Amino acid sequence: MRFMMLMIPGGYATAAPDVMPSANAVEEMMKYNEALKRAGVLLALDGLHPPSTGARVSFKGGKPTVTDGPFAEVKEVLGGYWMIDVRSREEAIEWARRCPAGENDVIEVRRVQEMSDFPEDVQKAVVEGFSGLKD
Amino acid sequence: MTTTATIEAVWRIEQPKLAARLTRRLRDVGLAEEVVQDAFLEALERWPRDGIPRNPAAWLTRVAINRALDRLRRTVMLDGKHRELAIDLAELEREMPDMEAALDEDIDDDLLRLIFTACHSMLPAEQRVALALRMLGGLTTPEIARAFMVPEATIAQRIVRAKRALRDAGVAFDTPRGEQRRERLAAVLEVVYLIFNEGYVASVGSDWLRAGLCDEALRLGRLLAALMPEEPEALGLVALMELNASRFAARIDKAGNPILLLDQDRSRWDWSLARRGLDGLNRAMALTPTPGRYLLQAMIAACHARAVSVADTDWIAIAAFYQALALAAPSPIVEVNRAVAVGMAFGPTQGLAIADGLQDEPRLRDSHLLPTVRGDLLEKLGRIEEARAEFRRAAELTGNERERALLLARAGRHHLNVNTAYRSTRQRPL
């Protein structure tokens, strides 16, 4: 089953646009990423620029409204993710525990929805939607 | 979160590394396999009571080494003399305090050695498969038995025999180089692909462990690709498995009957997995001008993955890849597939010429495959009576009830548009 480990770095909401992790932190994280890869569980990973260079699109009143970052009211923002394929929720959590994260960081572990998780009528709608997309 | 589930999770992560580390220390795959199991059983007994240790890897390694020392001392005592041991007991005892420091060592080489040893080409494939799932996948004997639908005693025996054969042959714990490497690597990759295919043929409602074999094989394959990023066939195998696995949901209907690739609803394919497969394939192809059997099969699978429909498929490329595959890994099944591809690419006459050449092939005699393919090609050529005879023969040979009914329908309803009648019985015609 696939899980996403969502990295929520402490203080990232207000981080400067050009913020960069230290060489040491990067090295530690690379080791961790290698371990995931060596275990055959890593499917994908990416890091995200801080929200100060991003934007939020909200839909209050049914209309899209764009707000440029940083977002003063938001406390926790994503800094990146790993997509892993493991045998159980516990294994995903065990991998998250092993991450060389900072003390203000949080990793949220979430299972990826697979097609088979949906009831039949939803599956059908998804399948038909996808057929349309591919044409 | 229950402790048992957590222990199992830790186990899954630590087990292959533990087995690799122990095999190097003990110079004995069999002994390593036994004491690694011992360590797991002890963890299951003690961790729920004492809590999970801060460094589970160190704990497991220490327990496993202790058990190894126990076993070796007992052997020495029972024999009443210092029988020839693969390792020096005293040396092992001296090493004990360094275990924790040893955990930081680079494990890659040991893992690779373990893979090449557990999947040694001298062992029969079924023994290799059992030993690999046990030592690299961390599956227990009952789990392997359930997944392969054979009695536990059968799997236990395969593992015992494999370990004995490795010990008796004095197989060195190493990574093969030069001439040997190709043959040994083939034996390793075969194990992974056998495990994958065992899971791929699992039907609806079968044990989740059985279908889970595909995931086990994918993980093993990714592990291999990570350890040998320069081996095009290892990368090709992962790409092949990912491309095939992307069709997993579409490969059987609700009743559990297999749906042939050309009849599958392509919108049910897992496109993110297929994309991973295609990316991996590109990386693998860049490594070699002469693709081997897995890479070629991945290239064929990729042609299907890239096609939005059957009509959109690059059959000329597929026919060419099958020709290359027939040279790289000759087999009558490959030839039958080539006949289909050539028939699609260049017309039924050319396809039939290949299929006709296979009629005396003894390995196809009991299979419905060739008469089905011949029937289809003859039908396309308008040679209806001959086609009917072939479908009837195929119906007699197939072991699948539903397939038999379909073949008999094709044999009988030639006056209708046979192809339409055939396809309309499928879940979703393309």
Q: Which CATH superfamily is domain A2-134 in?
A: Dimeric alpha+beta barrel (3.30.70.1060)
Mean pLDDT (whole number) for B345-358 = 96
Please choose, from the candidates A85, A129, A76, the residue with its C-alpha nearest in 3D space to the C-alpha of residue A111: A85
Q: State the Cα–Cα distance between residues B194 and B214, nearest whole angstrom.
A: 10
Q: State the Cα–Cα distance between residues B143 and B147, nearest whole angstrom.
A: 6
Q: In B, residues 45-84, which contact A (CB 8 Å cutoff)?
A: none
Is residue B60 within 8 Å of B43, Cβ to Cβ? yes
Mean pLDDT (whole number) for B251-271 = 81
**pLDDT value at residue A127:** 61
Q: Give the one of B1, B16, B212 whose C-beta lies nearest to A93's C-beta.
A: B1
* A41-45, B44-48, B337-341, B404-408: range with lowest mean pLDDT: B404-408
- Side-chain half-sphere of A6: how many Cα atoms within 13 Å? 9
- Render the burial of A96-126: b for 16+ CB within 10 Å, e for the rest: beebebeeeeebebeeeeeeeeeeeeeeeee
Yes or no, beta carbons of A87 and B215 under 8 Å apart: yes
Most B-contacting residue of A5, A30, A91, A114 (CB-CB within 10 A), to test interface: A91
Reported ipTM: the value is 0.81
* A40-44, B53-57, B238-242, B409-413: range with lowest mean pLDDT: B409-413
Contacts (Cβ under 8 Å, ≥6 apart) of A63: none
Q: State the Cα–Cα distance between residues A50 and B302, nearest whole angstrom.
A: 37
Yes or no, beta carbons of A91 and B212 under 8 Å apart: no
Please choose, from the candidates B100, B16, B86, the residue with its C-alpha nearest in 3D space to the C-alpha of residue B53: B100
* Any A CB within 8 A of B290 CB: no
Yes or no, beta carbons of B220 and A40 under 8 Å apart: yes
Residue found by looking up tokens 């044990």 in the block: B207
**pLDDT value at residue B207:** 66
Nearest C-alpha in B relative to A129:
B267
Cα first-last separation, chain B: 46
Q: What is the pLDDT of residues B370-407, one digit of tens each?
A: 999 999 999 999 999 999 999 999 999 987 777 788 88
Q: What is the pLDDT of residues B21-40, one digit of tens each?
A: 898 888 888 899 999 999 99
Residue B51 DSSP one-character state: -
Q: State the Cα–Cα distance between residues B90 and B70, nearest whole angstrom.
A: 12
* Any A CB within 8 A of B268 CB: yes
Mean model confidence pLDDT for chain B: 86
**3-state secondary structure at position A90:** helix
Domain definitions of chain B by residue range: 3-105, 106-213, 366-430
Q: Give the one of A39, A43, A89 whose C-beta lies nearest to B223's C-beta.
A: A39
Q: Give the H/E segment covering residue B22.
A: helix B3-26
Mean pLDDT (whole number) for A47-51 = 93
| pLDDT confidence bin for B3, thresholds 50/70/90 | confident
Q: Give the one of B8, B219, B267 whose C-beta lies nearest to A41's C-beta.
A: B219
Q: What class has domain B106-213?
A: mainly alpha
Domain definitions of chain A by residue range: 2-134
Please choose, from the candidates B420, B372, B430, B359, the residue with its C-alpha nearest in 3D space to the C-alpha of residue B400: B372
pLDDT-above-90 percentage for chain A: 63
Domain topology for B3-105: Rna Polymerase Sigma Factor; Chain: A (1.10.1740)
Torsion of CA B97, B101, B103, B106, to 10 degrees: -130
Return the number of other C-beta atoms located less than 10 Å from residue B64's C-beta: 27
* Cα R_g (chain A), whole angstroms: 18
**pLDDT value at residue B424:** 36
Mean pLDDT (whole number) for A69-93 = 92
Contacts (Cβ under 8 Å, ≥6 apart) of B268: A115, A127, B249, B250
pLDDT at B156 over 50: yes
**pLDDT value at residue A5:** 98
For the entire predicted model, the pTM comes to: 0.86
Residue found by looking up tokens 């990714």 in the block: B222
Q: State the Cα–Cα distance between residues B22 and B97, nearest whole angstrom.
A: 15
* Any A CB within 8 A of B267 CB: yes
Q: Give the one of B5, B108, B308 whose C-beta lies nearest to A38's C-beta.
A: B108
pLDDT at A9 over 90: yes
* B62-76, B88-102, B104-118, B379-393: range with lowest mean pLDDT: B88-102
Those residues of chain A whose CB sits closer than 8 Å to some CB in chain B are 37-43, 85-91, 93-95, 115-116, 127-128, 130-131, 134-135
Q: State the Cα–Cα distance between residues B22 and B33, nearest whole angstrom.
A: 8
Task: Please list the helix, strand and coil fractions of chain B in percent, rounded to the nearest 5, in that order.
Answer: 75, 0, 25
Nearest C-alpha in A relative to B139:
A87
